[in-house]
Structure 1
Amino acid sequence: MKTIATFSQKGGSGKSTLAVHLGVAAEEDSTSVIIFDRDDAQASSSRWAGSRSAESPVVLQTPPSQLQAALKAGSTKGFGLAIIDGPPHSSPDSAAIARVADLILIPVRPTAFDLAAVGNAVKIVTAAGRAPLFVLSACPPRVPEVADARQALADFGEVAPVEIGERIAFSRAIATGQSVTEFDSRSKAAAEIRALWQWIKEKTR
């Protein structure tokens, strides 16, 4: 079982949105997924799962002390992918999450505040011996800030070639307990998520 963590040191970056959407995209691509919600303050992934009619992906709130055992149990049960929706700010288990993840995705909005917060996340990730992978999220169309953010992030690590646009489809899908690939499978938002998942899948091989 491969393990991916969505990681951020700033709230509102799109961390939980990324976690649940990648979970559904992986399920649609014949990978069984379990999501561990470690965002105790917001529990966004858990609330999304609670409003969802579909039974997959499985979403569990897991205390830090039980995460290692939960990952082992998930692997034993035959899940192909674990996604850890990490805490939005520095917490005692941030480093532990970084150590158990095969890939660490850091969503970043193309804003000055988001870019300023990247350094703290990178320190935690690199201290755990991992390399961060950045995903530009909530990108407005046709603005220079997106390219500027991509260039700035490249100094810290690899940036996903797929950018996630600032689209109302995401909030509408989340509100109905769905992902954009379910809510509007032909939308640009759905295409972006599928493309991002394919890129991530290659990274886990």
Structure 2
Amino acid sequence: MHVLALVTQKGGSGKSTLAVALAVAAMRDGERVALIEADVQGTVSRWQERRDNPYPRVERVAEPADIDAVLARLAAEGIWLAIIDTAATNNVLALRAIATADLCLIPARPSPADIEAAIPTLLAIRRQKRRFAFVLNQTPPRGVRLSEAATSLNALGVLALPFIGQRNDHQDALGTGLAVTEYARGGKAAEEVHALWSWVAKKLAEEAFGHDQAAIKKAS
């Protein structure tokens, strides 16, 4: 089972919206997906309550040990991907989510405050030697600020593509219990999310290949 964690200390970065969108995009590819909510705000749980479709399922956790227990149960049930949505604080739950993740995504809006706020999260990820990528989220269509933010994040590490634009479809979808790829299937927001999921899926496949190669080398 793959584990994807969305982490950053900055509130309003769009972690929950991205978690939901990526989960449903993965489901559309035929994958078995679950969301783990490690955020007391409960944005993902409330989204699930508004949703007619029971999938992706949502598991809430309150303690670091809960994450390990839920992940073990999901793996035993054949879930292919678990996506962990974390709170906007560098708390013990977020740190445990980082430790269990195959890939950490750090959403950041194209502003100096967001990029500065991402640094402590990046340091925590590097201390635990986890793979990561930044996601530029809620971006304007173009401009110097966007270009400068992309340059800054590229200098700090890997930057996922494409950028996710600031579009009303994301919030409108969340309010109706849908992902943006369900709410406006032919829209630009849905197109960006599908492309981002393709990028993430490729990175997860690379991670799995690396583990397989390491196992083969160890066995030989």
TM bucket, shorter chain:
over 0.9
2:15 is equivalent to residue 21 of structure 1 = no
Deviating beyond 2 angstroms after TM superposition, the runs of 4 or more aligned structure 1 residues are none
2:45 is equivalent to residue 46 of structure 1 = yes
Instruction: Report the TM-score when normalising by structure 2.
Output: 0.91
Does the CA contact (< 8 Å) of 1:139 and 1:166 recur in 2? yes
Give the Cα–Cα distance (whole angstroms) in 2 for the partners of residues 119 and 147 of structure 1: 19
Does the CA contact (< 8 Å) of 1:25 and 1:181 recur in 2? yes
Specify which structure has the higher proportion of helix.
2
Q: CA deviation at 1:161?
A: 2.0
Give the Cα–Cα distance (whole angstroms) in 1 for the partners of residues 100 and 131 of structure 2: 13
Q: CA deviation at 1:197?
A: 0.3
Partner of 2:62: 63
Does the CA contact (< 8 Å) of 1:94 and 1:124 recur in 2? no
Q: CA deviation at 1:63?
A: 2.2
Does the CA contact (< 8 Å) of 2:169 and 2:180 recur in 1? yes
Q: String of CA shifts for 1:17-74, please: whole Å, max 9, x gaps.
A: 110000000001100111000011x111111111111111111111222110110100
Gaps of 5+ in 2: 206-220
Letter in 1 for 2:57: V
Instruction: Report the TM-score when normalising by structure 1.
Output: 0.97
Gaps of 5+ in 1: none
Give the Cα–Cα distance (whole angstroms) in 2 for the partners of residues 67 and 94 of structure 1: 10
Alignment of 1:145-164 (within 5 A): 145-164=145-164
SS of equivalent residue, structure 1 residue 186: coil
Alignment of 1:85-104 (within 5 A): 85-104=85-104
SS of equivalent residue, structure 1 residue 137: strand
Does the CA contact (< 8 Å) of 1:131 and 1:157 recur in 2? no
Partner of 1:121: 121
Partner of 1:170: 170
Give the Cα–Cα distance (whole angstroms) in 1 for the partners of residues 161 and 80 of structure 2: 24
Partner of 2:105: 105
Q: CA deviation at 1:131?
A: 3.1
Letter in 1 for 2:180: V
Q: String of CA shifts for 1:2-21, please: whole Å, max 9, x gaps.
A: 00000011100011111000
Does the CA contact (< 8 Å) of 1:37 and 1:43 recur in 2? yes
Give the Cα–Cα distance (whole angstroms) in 2 for the partners of residues 129 and 109 of structure 1: 24
Does the CA contact (< 8 Å) of 1:5 and 1:86 recur in 2? yes
Whichever of the two has the greater Rg, that structure is 2
Give the Cα–Cα distance (whole angstroms) in 1 for the partners of residues 86 and 10 of structure 2: 11
Give the Cα–Cα distance (whole angstroms) in 2 for the partners of residues 118 and 88 of structure 1: 11
2:98 is equivalent to residue 80 of structure 1 = no
Q: Report the aligned-residue RMSD.
A: 0.9
Does the CA contact (< 8 Å) of 2:107 and 2:136 recur in 1? yes
Percent identity between the two aligned chains: 37
